[in-house]
Structure 1
Amino acid sequence: MPLNIIGTALFEGTDKIPYYEPIKRALPYVLGASAIKYWSRGPSNTWERKLHGKVYIVTGATSQGMGTSVVLQMAQLGAQLIILTREVDEWSTEWCEDLRDKTGNELIFMEQCDLNNLWEVRKFATNWLNNSPPRRLDGVIVMSGDMEPWGLPIVSRPTRRSSEDGLELQMATNFVGVFHLLNLLQPSFKAQPPDRDVRIIVTTCWLQVFGEINVTDPLWQSAKYDRPLKFFSSSKLQLGLCMMELQRRIINDIKTKQKEGVERTGKNVTVSMVQPGTMRSSSLRRVISNGSVLVLIFLYSIILYPLLWLFTKSANRGAQSLLYSLMTPELEEINLKDEKVKYISDCSIVKFSRKEFDNEELQKELFDNTEKKILELEKQMAMKRNALKKETASSASSEFSSSKESKAKTEKQRQNQKQKQKPKQNLNKKKKK
C-alpha cells in the first residue's frame, strides 16, 4: 500500500491521493506525538540472565503494576521468589497460584511481612536468619512504597495516616520498614559465599531532590504533618543516604571478618538505587484524584489520561530499569570500579543529584540514629503489647471467675429452694394420712 501511494504521488500528483489534505495537516502532530511517546517510554533492558536456582526476597510484587511485571519476568527465568505481603489472604493466595500457572514456576512463595509493622519485620528477619547453615540469598528487591494524596488547595486538608507503630505512613513504608528489613538481614548478606553475586535493589523517586534530612529525628515522630509531599520526598532521600552507609558496612565487615587464606573484597554484595521514572501507577492515580473516586473517573480517566499516556511510562516500561539492575554485568564484582552505591535510571548508571550523597559522615550519623530510634520504638511497642496481653488475660480471668461465682450462686439458690420444698412435701404427706 505505501508503494501505491508513493507511485500515485510521483506520477499522478498528490491530488489523486484520497484524503491527502487532512492527512497533510494531521501528519506533523502525529509525528510529534510519536516522538514524544518514544522518548517518554524510556529504553528497554537488553540484558538477560539465567536465574535458575537463585533465591530472591521481593516486596511490592502484588501491586498489579511495576512490581508484578518484574516478578513475572523473574519467575519466567526460573528464580525462586519469596514475596512479602501485608496479608496472606484468599486474594494473595490466588494471585500467587495464577503467577505459578502463567510462568510454570512452582518456586514462588508468599510470606506475611507488613513493612509498616516493625514487629512483623523483625519476626520475618529472625525466622530467615534462624537457620544453619545460612539460607541461600541472591538478592532483595524492594518495590513497595506509599504516596499519600497531597490535598487540594482550599477544598481539603491532607489527612495524616499512621502505621502500626504510630509513624507517618509514608515515612514508615518508604524508609523505616525498608531500612529495618535490610539492616536486620545484614548477617545473611555477609554469610553468602564470595562467588555468589548478591544484589540489593531498592526503588526510589526523582522527587527525593525536594526532600529534607532530619538527623536528630530520623523517624519524623515529632515533625508537623503539613505537606505530604515533604514526607514522601524526605523518606526517599533518607533511605538513599542510609543505603550508602549500608553498602560500606557490609563491605567493611566482610573484609575484616574474612577467613585466613581467603581474600574477599566484599564487592559481591552490591546495593543499587533504581529510579523507574514517572509511571501511570496507583500512587499517581491517588495523588491526582486526591483519594476521590469521582475525581479519579473524570479528571484522571477522561480529561488527563491522553496527556498522561503521552508523557508517562506504563508499568512494564518502568520495570525495565529494575530488570537492568538485576541482570547487568556492570554490577558483577569483576566489573565494579568502586564500592559506592549505584544510581540507575533509564537502564543506565547515572550520578546522584544531591551533594549529601558524598557526605559519608552525614550518612553514618543518620544510619546510627535511625537504628537507635527504631530500637527505642520497638521497645515501647513491646511494652504496650505486653501490657495489652496482661489486660486481656486479667479481663479473661475475671470473666471466668465471675462466671464461676455466678454458677455457684445459682447452684446454691437451687439447693435452698429444694430444702424449702421438702417441709412442704412432708406436710402434704401427713395431711393425706
Structure 2
Amino acid sequence: MPLDFIGTVLAEGTHRIPYYEQIKRIAPYLIAGSAIKYWSRGATNTWERKLHGKVYLVTGATTQAMGTSVVLEMARLGAQLIILGREIDEWATDWINDLRDKSENNLIYMEQCDLSDLWQVRKFATGWLDNSPPRRLDGVIIMSGDMEPWGIPRISLPTRRSSVEGLEIQMATNFAGVFHLLDLLQPSFKAQPPDRDFRIIVTTCWLQSLGEVNVQDPLWQNAPYESALRHFASSKLQLSLCMLELQRRITKAIQEEKAGGVERTGLNVSVTLVQPGIMRSPSLRRVLSNGSVTLLLLLYCVVLYPWLYLLTKDGHRGGQNVLYALMTPELEEVNHKDNDVKYISDCKIIKFARKEFVDANLQAQLFANTQRDILEFEKKMAIKRNQTKSNLKSKSSDKT
C-alpha cells in the first residue's frame, strides 16, 4: 500500500495526496514547533548503574514533578531511599506505598524533617548520627525548595511569609535548612569507607544569577523584605557558594584523618550543583498564578500553557540532570582530578558564571557566618520553647 501510494504521487503529482494544500500550509508550523519542543525538552541522561544496596537521603521527592520522577527511577534501580518530608500523614503514607508498588521496591521510607524548621533538622541529623557503627550512606540528594509568588507590580504588595521559627520562608527552606542538614551530617559523610562513591547532589536555579550575598547577615534576619524574587534568588546563590566551601572542608578533613595509617584523597566524596532548567513545576505554577486559583485556571491553564508546553520541560526531563549527576562516571574518584564542585546543566558539566564562585575567601566567610548565626538562632529558639513550656505548665497547675 505505501509503495503504491508513493508510486502514484511520483507518477501523477502531489495533487493525488488528500488535503495536500491544507497540509502544505500547516506543515511549516508543525515542523518549527516540533523543532522548538525538541530543543526545549533538554538533554537525556544516558548513564545507568545499578543501585542495589545503596542508601540515599532525599528531599523534595513528593512534588509530583522532578523529585518524584527521580526517586521513582532510583527505586526501580534498587536504591534504598530515606525520604524527608514535612509531615507524615495519611497522604504521605499512601504516596510511599504507591511508590513501592510502581517501583517494586519496598526499601523506601519516609522520616519527618521540615527543612524550614532548624529544630526538626537538628533532631533528624542527631538521630541519624546516633548510631554505632555509623549507618551506611551513599549520597544525599537535595531537590526541595520554596518559591513564593512574586506579586503583581502596583496591584499586590509583596507579602513576607515566615517559617515557624520566624525566618523568611524561602531563606529558611532553600538555604538555612539545607545548609544545617548537610553541615550536621558531615561526620556521616566522612565516616563512609574510602572505596564508596559518595555523592552530595544539590539542585539550584538559574535565578541564582540575580541573587545577592549577605555575608554579615546570611540568614537575612535584618534585611528588608522588598520582593520574594530577591530572597529566593539570594537563598539559592548563598547555598551554592556554601556548597563549594563544604566540599573543601570535607576533603580536607578526610585527608587529615589517617585510618589505620592509610592516607585518603577525599575525592570519593563529591558535591555537585545541578541546574535542572525551566520546568512546568509547582513553583512555576505558583509564581505565574500569583498564588490565586482563579489566575491558575485562567492564566496558567488556558492562556499560557500552550506556550509553556512548547518552551519548557516537564519534571521528568528536568530530573534527567539529577540522574546524570548521580550516575556519571565523571564524578568517580578514579576520574575526578580535583576537588572542585561541578556544575551540571543539560547533562553536562558547565562553568559558573558569577565571580563569587571563584572567591574562596568569600565562600569560607559565608559558611562560617552561617554556622554562627544558625547556632545563635537555635539557642534563641530553644530559650523561647522552654519559656512556652514553662508557661503551659504553670497554666495547667493553676487549673488544677
- Give the TM-score of the pair, scaled to structure 2: 0.99
Indicate if the aligned counterparts of 1:201 and 1:271 stay in contact, CA closer than 8 A.
yes
Tell me: CA distance 1:224–1:2, structure 2 relative to 1, closer, same or farther (3 Å): farther
The answer to whether the aligner puts 1:280 opposite 2:283 as a matched pair is no
Indicate if the aligned counterparts of 1:212 and 1:234 stay in contact, CA closer than 8 A.
yes
- Give the TM-score of the pair, scaled to structure 1: 0.91
Structure 1 regions of 5+ residues with no counterpart? 401-433
Question: How is 1:11-410 mapped onto 2 (pairs within 5 angstroms)?
Answer: 11-400=11-400
Matched position secondary structure for 2:134: coil
Runs of 4+ in 1 over 2 A off after TM superposition: 1-9
Indicate if the aligned counterparts of 2:247 and 2:340 stay in contact, CA closer than 8 A.
yes
| C-alpha distance in structure 1 between counterparts of 2:164 and 2:270, whole Å | 31
**Counterpart residue type for residue 201 of structure 2:** I
**Counterpart residue type for residue 231 of structure 2:** F
**Counterpart residue type for residue 370 of structure 2:** T
Once the 2 structures are TM-superposed, how far is the Cα of residue 260 of structure 1 from its aligned partner? 4.5
| C-alpha distance in structure 1 between counterparts of 2:2 and 2:57, whole Å | 51
Indicate if the aligned counterparts of 1:194 and 1:264 stay in contact, CA closer than 8 A.
yes
**Counterpart residue type for residue 251 of structure 2:** I
Indicate the structure (1 or 2) with the bigger Cα radius of gyration: 1
In the TM superposition, what whole-angstrom CA distance separates every residue of 1:208-255 from its partner, at most 9, and x where no partner exists?
111100000000011111111111111010000000000000000001
Indicate if the aligned counterparts of 2:257 and 2:263 stay in contact, CA closer than 8 A.
no
**Counterpart residue type for residue 355 of structure 1:** K
Indicate if the aligned counterparts of 2:116 and 2:169 stay in contact, CA closer than 8 A.
yes
Matched position secondary structure for 1:334: coil
**Counterpart residue type for residue 389 of structure 1:** K
| C-alpha distance in structure 2 between counterparts of 1:4 and 1:61, whole Å | 53
| C-alpha distance in structure 2 between counterparts of 1:369 and 1:2, whole Å | 71
Indicate if the aligned counterparts of 2:82 and 2:110 stay in contact, CA closer than 8 A.
yes
Q: What is the number of residues matched between the two proteins?
A: 400
Once the 2 structures are TM-superposed, how far is the Cα of residue 154 of structure 1 from its aligned partner? 1.9
| C-alpha distance in structure 2 between counterparts of 1:155 and 1:345, whole Å | 36
Structure 2 regions of 5+ residues with no counterpart? none
Indicate if the aligned counterparts of 1:218 and 1:366 stay in contact, CA closer than 8 A.
yes
In the TM superposition, what whole-angstrom CA distance separates every residue of 1:378-418 from its partner, at most 9, and x where no partner exists?
00000000000000011111111xxxxxxxxxxxxxxxxxx
| C-alpha distance in structure 2 between counterparts of 1:200 and 1:75, whole Å | 18
In the TM superposition, what whole-angstrom CA distance separates every residue of 1:32-70 from its partner, at most 9, and x where no partner exists?
100000000011111111100000000010111100000
Indicate if the aligned counterparts of 1:8 and 1:17 stay in contact, CA closer than 8 A.
no
| C-alpha distance in structure 2 between counterparts of 1:202 and 1:333, whole Å | 19
Tell me: CA distance 1:264–1:161, structure 2 relative to 1, closer, same or farther (3 Å): same
| C-alpha distance in structure 2 between counterparts of 1:6 and 1:217, whole Å | 72
Once the 2 structures are TM-superposed, how far is the Cα of residue 321 of structure 1 from its aligned partner? 0.3
Matched position secondary structure for 1:116: coil
In the TM superposition, what whole-angstrom CA distance separates every residue of 1:71-94 from its partner, at most 9, and x where no partner exists?
000001110000000011010011
Indicate if the aligned counterparts of 1:213 and 1:237 stay in contact, CA closer than 8 A.
yes
Matched position secondary structure for 2:72: helix
| C-alpha distance in structure 2 between counterparts of 1:8 and 1:152, whole Å | 59
| C-alpha distance in structure 2 between counterparts of 1:355 and 1:237, whole Å | 12
Once the 2 structures are TM-superposed, how far is the Cα of residue 358 of structure 1 from its aligned partner? 0.5
**Counterpart residue type for residue 83 of structure 1:** I
Which has the bigger relative contact order, CA under 8 A and spacing at least 6? 2
Indicate if the aligned counterparts of 1:199 and 1:272 stay in contact, CA closer than 8 A.
yes
Once the 2 structures are TM-superposed, how far is the Cα of residue 5 of structure 1 from its aligned partner? 4.8
Matched position secondary structure for 2:109: strand
**Counterpart residue type for residue 42 of structure 1:** G
In the TM superposition, what whole-angstrom CA distance separates every residue of 1:303-342 from its partner, at most 9, and x where no partner exists?
1100000000011001000000001111000001211001
| C-alpha distance in structure 2 between counterparts of 1:4 and 1:67, whole Å | 50
